[in-house]
């Protein structure tokens, strides 16, 4: 079934259902996406030829509010992946108690092969192709892998042209000049940092300067490296898709970020020892933060992990097989739907700001983000303790109970159960 939840996502959902108090209706509804759209995205290349790419937008569920979730530009994106990501967004927004459902979109393209003007035309063509299904009250896209504020700016501009009027709340993660909000581009890493700090004592004890390895040096990974280095951790290794760098004494994160911005990769780093990125997971560190793509820690390499804590900054970086192995090794996995929820939380603030027609300050954003992250982190820890669950299952259970409350309130369950 093309819109069904499959693989690890289905497995974790089934497991969470065992521990949550939810109606059979909820269980049934959450096995499939509400709607899936597959579109052709035509791109006029700079040389005049036309190339057509496959694009997707999945609305997994919108019971709690408009669907919400990013758009990724990635060569191997397909409907199954987008469906899984939209499913995770449904849980993430419920977990943070945001008035949204879950959605996701993507184009199967390698953005590194496009010129800047091709990227702009592709962004506009994609939004034109999905324009009928998005809007402030239906489905609100945002950035994800390989998309950023600039891409959102083109998309918001195109959407306003199509709708013949401004609808800034239809997309989040926009440039500030087009109705974006301060702090959105650092929100994912800020949120991840709050979660780790909140859990620090329970998972790392009174360890001085915990050593961290970060896989992925894109938006979230690089900004998290700065926060950790400034916040009493020692960032000893980072990697991107082509290179990795290690320094047991602690890397000069600022210099590395400047190098990455300039050179486009971590190759030939200004300091530290270059090594094979595949070996990063096996380093002797206290915290491992996979911040790139899905499936980085899997059944064949989970046994090599030596960290005490795996902080899932990416979406789905640890497979279900790996979860079981890490659990046996006593590694604490802090789940993605909590760790990386700062991004969508600040997207919520942006959406509110746009609907109010106002402007939020950086201070208000930071304060309210911290409040959301800490409140829900504590709630997850409490559920894990009370029901003797791992943090991932506790996060799913917490989200599921909010989802079932909304789904049951839509009527049907109350009618048949006589509640």
Q: Which residues bind ligand GLU (CB under 6 A)?
A: 68-70, 92, 142, 144, 172-173, 315, 340, 343-344, 347
- Residue nearest ligand GLU, Cβ-based: 70
Q: How far is the CB of 176 from ligand GLU (least distance, A)?
A: 16
104 is catalytic: yes
Minimum distance of ligand GLU from residue 211's CB (angstroms): 27
Minimum CB separation of residue 201 from ligand GLU in Å reads 27
Task: Please write down the HEC assignment for all residues of the chain.
Answer: CCCECCHHHHHHHHHHHHHCCCCHHHHHHCCECCEEEEEEEEEECCCCCEEEEEEEEEEEECCCCCEEEEEEECCCCCHHHHHHHHHHHHHHHHHCCCCCCEEEEEECCCHHHCCHHHHHHHHHHHHHHHHHHCECCCEEEEECCCCCHHHHHHHHHHHHHHHCCCCHHHCCCCCHHHCCCCCCCCHHHHHHHHHHHHHHHHHHCCCCCCEEEEECCCHHHHHHHHHHHHCCCEEEEEECCCCEEECCCCCCHHHHHHHHHHHCCCCCCCCCEEECHHHHHHCCCCEEEECCCCCCECCCCHHHCCCCEEECCCCCCECHHHHHHHHHCCCEEECHHHHCCHHHHHHHHHHHHHHHCCCCCHHHHHHHHHHHHHHHHHHHHHHHHHHCCCHHHHHHHHHHHHHHHHHHHCCHHHHHHCC
The pair of structure tokens assigned to 264 is: 């486009």
Give the Å distances, CA to CA, from 263 to 193, 267, 268, 270, 272.
27, 8, 9, 11, 16
| Catalytic position from the list 34, 104, 174, 260 | 104
Catalytic residue IDs: 104
């Amino acid at each position: 079934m093309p819109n069904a939840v499959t693989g690890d996502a289905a497995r974790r959902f089934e497991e969470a259902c065992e521990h949550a108090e939810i109606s059979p209706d909820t269980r049934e509804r959450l096995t499939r996406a509400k709607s899936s759209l597959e579109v052709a995205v035509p791109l006029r290349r700079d040389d005049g030829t036309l190339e057509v790419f496959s694009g997707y937008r999945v609305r997994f569920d919108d019971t709690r509010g408009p669907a919400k979730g990013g758009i990724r530009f990635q060569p191997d994106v397909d409907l199954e992946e987008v469906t899984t990501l939209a499913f995770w967004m449904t849980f993430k927004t419920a977990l943070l108690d945001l008035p949204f459902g879950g959605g996701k979109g993507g184009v199967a393209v390698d953005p590194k092969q496009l010129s800047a003007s091709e990227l702009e035309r592709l962004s506009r063509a994609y939004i034109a192709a999905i324009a009928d299904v998005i809007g402030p009250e239906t489905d609100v896209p945002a950035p994800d892998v390989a998309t950023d504020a600039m891409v959102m700016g083109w998309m918001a501009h195109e959407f306003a042209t199509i709708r013949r009027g401004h609808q800034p709340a239809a997309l989040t993660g926009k440039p500030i000049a087009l109705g974006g909000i301060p702090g959105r581009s650092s929100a994912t890493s800020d949120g991840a940092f709050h979660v780790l700090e909140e859990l620090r004592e329970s998972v790392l004890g009174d360890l001085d300067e915990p050593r961290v390895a970060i896989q992925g040096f894109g938006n979230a990974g690089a900004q998290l490296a700065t926060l950790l280095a400034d916040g009493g951790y020692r960032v000893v290794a980072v990697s991107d898709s082509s290179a990795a760098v290690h320094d047991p004494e602690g890397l000069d994160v600022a210099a590395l970020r400047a190098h990455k911005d300039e050179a486009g990769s971590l190759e030939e780093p200004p300091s530290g020892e270059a090594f094979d990125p595949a070996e990063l997971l096996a380093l002797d560190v206290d915290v491992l933060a996979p911040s790139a793509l899905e499936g980085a820690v899997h059944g064949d390499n989970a046994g090599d992990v030596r960290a005490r804590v795996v902080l899932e900054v990416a979406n789905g970086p640890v497979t279900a097989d790996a979860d079981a192995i890490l659990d046996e090794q006593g590694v604490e996995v802090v789940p993605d739907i909590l760790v990386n929820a700062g991004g969508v939380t600040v997207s919520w603030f942006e959406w509110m700001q746009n609907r109010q027609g106002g402007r939020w300050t950086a201070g208000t954003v930071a304060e309210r983000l911290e409040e959301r992250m800490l409140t829900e982190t504590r709630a997850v820890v409490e559920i894990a303790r009370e029901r003797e669950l791992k943090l991932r299952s506790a996060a799913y259970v917490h989200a599921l109970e909010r989802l079932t409350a909304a789904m049951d309130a839509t009527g049907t369950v109350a009618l048949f159960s006589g509640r």
